[in-house]
Structure 1
């Protein structure tokens, strides 16, 4: 099935590196934005993110979850949240699939480019778990595969988020 899905990297990503929990500041808040297209799949990213973030020392009450209709709406939600000054980081999760037309590539590029520009403009890290598989067919095998894959991506996003928050805090201290 991996050849069909062209997702051979998944085989190597099952071992999530152990990250030592840092001492968390009480002011660290994270916004988690989740697109609702294929919600039952993307939910797995949020679930794994929450579990891993807690393991790394961030209390669940410090994570605010927001839903958008689809991935295309994530950048505006992220910009609004980043502008609030309330969040140390923002995490975005979504699944952009090829529905038989080429526009999914344009949507993916627009979303990822906007998230990158946003974090550079406002200096709030934006961690992306917005995925665009080469092939997705809406049947149980693919849904199961991507539910499992989003569990991995959720853990990875939590690790990247916490490490980035720590790196930025250290850099600001050193400046």
Structure 2
């Protein structure tokens, strides 16, 4: 009979984790919403504002910016983020596929622009722009079968604002320059003497291109007496 071997795996050490909360109290938010397909975007906006209020945000801390269409959302979101008055931006819009390739081009540009704005400004941007093949899909995502994407985008913005605040408060281990403070390793007294360099042993003024100064070049010893005295002795 084979003996059963029980293998015990050590538990991993506790990992430091930072997680946001769904508490919008004390935070300010910006909402950029497109007027194109307003019968969809207005539903997204209503649910987004409702989510912010439910999580504790006050009306004075909610700034709504309306733009013509989804293509203009990134520019408005960046301008709003650069004001420094909002801690997160909620982007709401609706794009429906048509007969031409215009749908793909706008989707790509809006996605790239919103992501680039978030990365360059450092302000979290949440995505609430619907990209649907038809009107039925958009209606389902604006409050029917698939929930409301405006509500979900607002909750994501609340959590990201909380995450950013938590990360900003964890700077005690960083130096004022934003880098981890370096620590000097202790050096024994004997090692210090070995590592220390005496100024008299080497200085840039004594070595120029590997040669000594003319004043430090070795000089020949002068012979005692003159040539005339040596001639007289020979005679």
TM-score band by shorter chain is 0.7 to 0.9
The question of whether the paired residues in 1 share the 8 Å contact of 2:52 and 2:155 is answered with yes
Write the distance in 1 (CA, Å) between the matches of 2:90 and 2:83: 15
**Helix, strand or coil: the match of 1:100?**
coil
Alignment partner, residue 162 of structure 2? 166
Alignment partner, residue 104 of structure 1? 103
Say which one has the larger Rg. Answer: 2
Greater share of residues in helix: 1
Alignment partner, residue 13 of structure 1? none
The question of whether the paired residues in 2 share the 8 Å contact of 1:44 and 1:151 is answered with no
Write the distance in 1 (CA, Å) between the matches of 2:49 and 2:59: 7
Alignment partner, residue 136 of structure 1? 134
Q: How does the TM-score come out when normalised to structure 2?
A: 0.60
Alignment partner, residue 121 of structure 1? 120
1:6-59 deviation line (CA, Å, top 9, x unaligned): xxxxxxxxxxxxx9753722xx22110101111011111111111111111111
Alignment partner, residue 175 of structure 2? none
1:46-85 deviation line (CA, Å, top 9, x unaligned): 1111111111111122111111100000111111111111
The question of whether the paired residues in 1 share the 8 Å contact of 2:44 and 2:148 is answered with yes
Shift in Å, 1:144:
4.0
Alignment partner, residue 157 of structure 1? 153
Write the distance in 2 (CA, Å) between the matches of 1:77 and 1:94: 13
Structure 2 gaps, min length 5: 1-19, 172-235
Alignment partner, residue 47 of structure 1? 46
Change (3 A) 1:151 1:40: farther
Superposition CA RMSD, Å: 2.0
Alignment partner, residue 35 of structure 1? 34
Alignment partner, residue 85 of structure 1? 84
The question of whether the paired residues in 1 share the 8 Å contact of 2:24 and 2:158 is answered with no
What is the total number of aligned residue pairs between the two structures? 151
Change (3 A) 1:95 1:145: same
| Greater relative contact order structure (CA < 8 Å, 6+ sep) | 1
**Helix, strand or coil: the match of 1:132?**
strand
The question of whether the paired residues in 1 share the 8 Å contact of 2:142 and 2:150 is answered with no
1:111-168 deviation line (CA, Å, top 9, x unaligned): 11111011111100111111211x214xxx5664343258621221111011000000
The question of whether the paired residues in 2 share the 8 Å contact of 1:21 and 1:55 is answered with no
